[in-house]
Amino acid sequence: MTIDAILLMAVSMLVLWGGLGAAIVNIVRFKGPEPDASMRDL
Amino acid sequence: MTQVKAPIDRGRFSNKTVFIMAAIGSAVGLGNIWRFPYVAYEGGGGAFILPYLVALLVAGIPLLLLDYAIGHSQRGSAPLSFARLHRRLEFIGWWQVSICVVIALYYAAILAWSTQYIGFSFTQAWGDDPEAFLFGEFLQTEAGVVSLEFVPAVLIPMAIIWLVTIVIMALGVQKGVGATSVIFIPVLLIAFCALVVQALMLPGALDGLQSLFAPNWAALLDPAVWASAFGQIFFSLSVGFGIMITYASYVGRKIDMTGSAFVVGFANSGFELLAGIGVFSALGFLAQASGAAVADVVSAGIGLAFVAFPAIISQAPFGALLGVLFFASLVLAGFTSLVSILEVVISAVRDKLELGRVAASLAVTVPMAIVSILLFSTRSGVVVLDIADYFINRFGILLVALVAMVAVGWGLRRVPWFADHMSRFGSIRLGRWWVVLVTYITPVLIALILVQEAVTAITVPYEGYPAWMLGVFGWGAAGAALIAGVLLAIPKWKQTTPLEAPPHDEEVIR
């Protein structure tokens, strides 16, 4: 593989998988209120 | 907090993890595996990441947030949610439901083919010519005619898939739809990672990756490349046709919806990148093994899955394993998407007729299963499928998404209110940036893509099919969805169904 192809592959991974990681961290660390009770689909 | 008894029990996801998994299960479908790699390759290779990321952030996630906002605030299926926004907009919801009906009918056929190909991976039933096998021995295709002659090799797995689907849909939102995604999505991820690892170890894999990621910066000056990036995001993210409205209506009031949207959006795109790496590694091997250039073996859709991959499986070491992983991934990804598409229809029927879960599931899925099998397990099934898929994606999904955005953003001017609603319990505040994107920028971009697609469809007969077939199964299917939407919006709602959304602080007992 050429250098520019390797670079673009790394950038794509960083942006998309890194973005996913950041989004997960954000939602896990957010201390918003959760529903009082978990109601079932009866 | 006020608590009221809902007129019917609509069902509910037990927590945000189940909701996110279900939304990812809906978004990650066949298009992630067999469409994205080709679109990226054609759209400038490595340089495609730029328009793709812009499309994700400017259109994909903002539109996903709009769907979430409509469903989460109005607490109903697509028709009920739009009816609650304004009675005259109910037809948009039914239009989305009708589109889902069309898609579900042919989606089951592709899952049936994939299921059969899991078995074929062991026997390599396609021999030396996978294309001739697919259209000849397997599908027994008759070009240019409509045949009602059944193909048992398709009919039997289709019947099994519909049977399993009916059971899952009858189990309900949490135990059926939610549990399916919670189980299937991790399995899909593991299976596809194993496939990628195996593909990367094949000789020629790096040549494939070189073809996928070598940047063609000049492509960025081509408007068609930007249009294909936006098109790929729209088609793959399951936005604009009722799924995310329906799913968001099953989520508790205080769930972080904005943070969830970013997880779903990036998970969908992250899986597409993984698919691109796996698919192009395998195509690089095929090119080397057949002494051709990668450009000569690149394909998408049915050609990639059922022609190129069988050729790879025949020649690769441990090819049967590669085949099982690939076709099982298609089945898993496609099945969670099929479930989400059907949920749009079932939810709408439940809300309108106030039916119980099992009754609504059977009323929707049994007739659809019969029509699906009648249409797509025949010798002309693949042609009808190809035409319907092309037209309903463009002149169904894209068009209804545009109409919905214009109606909500320009007609009702509700987007700022949605921003406040979503920001109330969200980790990411939706400010003026989101209002501008959803009200002005995204609709204009979708309109431009639609015009381009319409010009192409009118001037170039799709795949050279006869005009009458394109008229009936293409334009006809897309037009019928719109007409069905208008007609289904005419009957009045039952008096026990409130046409006002529950207040902000109300947790409805389900």
Residues B189, B447: Cα–Cα separation, whole Å: 35
The confidence score (pLDDT) of residue B482 equals 96
The confidence score (pLDDT) of residue B510 equals 38
Residues B271, B265: Cα–Cα separation, whole Å: 10
Distance of CA B367 to the CA centre of its chain: 21
Are B12 and A30 a contacting pair at CB < 8 A?
A: no
Are B273 and A16 a contacting pair at CB < 8 A?
A: yes
pLDDT tens digits, B115-134:
999 999 999 999 889 888 99
CB of B378 within 8 A of CB of B147?
Answer: yes
Q: How many CB pairs under 8 A join A and B?
A: 117
Q: At residue B368, does pLDDT exceed 50?
A: yes
The confidence score (pLDDT) of residue B485 equals 96
pLDDT tens digits, B229-263:
888 888 889 888 899 999 999 998 888 999 999 99
Residue A12 with chain B: CB contacts under 8 Å: 46, 49, 213, 273
Q: At residue B169, does pLDDT exceed 80?
A: yes
Q: At residue B1, does pLDDT exceed 60?
A: no
List residues bridging with B378 in a β-sheet.
B150
Q: At residue B31, does pLDDT exceed 90?
A: no
The confidence score (pLDDT) of residue A40 equals 54
Selecting from A8, A20, A42 the residue whose C-beta is nearest the C-beta of B49 gives A8
The distance of A18 to chain B (nearest Cα, Å) reads: 9
The overall average pLDDT reported for chain B is 90
The confidence score (pLDDT) of residue B302 equals 85
3-state secondary structure B173-227: HHHHHHHHHHHHHHHHHHHHHHHHHHHHCCCCHHHHHHHHHCCCHHHHHCHHHHH
Q: In this prediction, what percent of chain B has a pLDDT beyond 70? A: 96
Strand, coil or helix: B370: helix
pLDDT tens digits, B303-354:
888 988 899 999 889 899 999 999 999 999 999 999 999 999 999 999 999 9
- Which one of A15, A17, A27, A31 makes the best mutation probe of the B interface by having the most chain B beta carbons within 10 Å? A27
Q: Report how far apart, in Å, the C-alpha atoms of B258 and of each of A24, B61, B146, B330 are.
A: 12, 9, 47, 29
Q: At residue B3, does pLDDT exceed 80?
A: no
CB of B241 within 8 A of CB of B95?
Answer: no
Q: At residue B100, does pLDDT exceed 50?
A: yes
pLDDT tens digits, B458-510:
999 988 889 999 999 999 999 999 999 999 999 999 988 888 877 765 554 33
CB of B317 within 8 A of CB of B20?
Answer: no
pLDDT tens digits, B184-206:
999 999 999 999 999 999 999 99
The confidence score (pLDDT) of residue B199 equals 92
Q: How confident is the model at residue A33 (pLDDT cuts 50, 70, 90)?
A: low
| Helices B90-123 & B78-85 angle (0-180, nearest 10) | 160
Q: In this prediction, what percent of chain B has a pLDDT beyond 90? A: 62
The confidence score (pLDDT) of residue B154 equals 92
Q: How confident is the model at residue B93 (pLDDT cuts 50, 70, 90)?
A: very high
pLDDT tens digits, A3-22:
999 999 999 999 999 999 99
Q: At residue B85, does pLDDT exceed 60?
A: yes
Are A27 and B256 a contacting pair at CB < 8 A?
A: yes
Residue A15 with chain B: CB contacts under 8 Å: 49, 53
Residue A41 with chain B: CB contacts under 8 Å: 9, 11-12, 172-175, 357, 510
Q: At residue B34, does pLDDT exceed 90?
A: no
Can you read off the two tokens belonging to residue B84? Answer: 């609650």
* Residue B39 or B186, more confident: B186
Q: Report how far apart, in Å, the C-alpha atoms of B125 and of each of B119, B207, B287, B289, B348 are.
A: 9, 28, 21, 20, 42
* Closest residue of chain A to B51, computed from CA coordinates: A12
pLDDT tens digits, B372-402:
999 888 887 788 888 988 898 888 888 999 9
Are B46 and A24 a contacting pair at CB < 8 A?
A: no
The confidence score (pLDDT) of residue B508 equals 47
Q: At residue A35, does pLDDT exceed 70?
A: no
- Which one of A3, A15, A16, A30 makes the best mutation probe of the B interface by having the most chain B beta carbons within 10 Å? A16
The confidence score (pLDDT) of residue B409 equals 94
Element (H, E) at B289: helix B257-289
Residues B37, B277: Cα–Cα separation, whole Å: 8
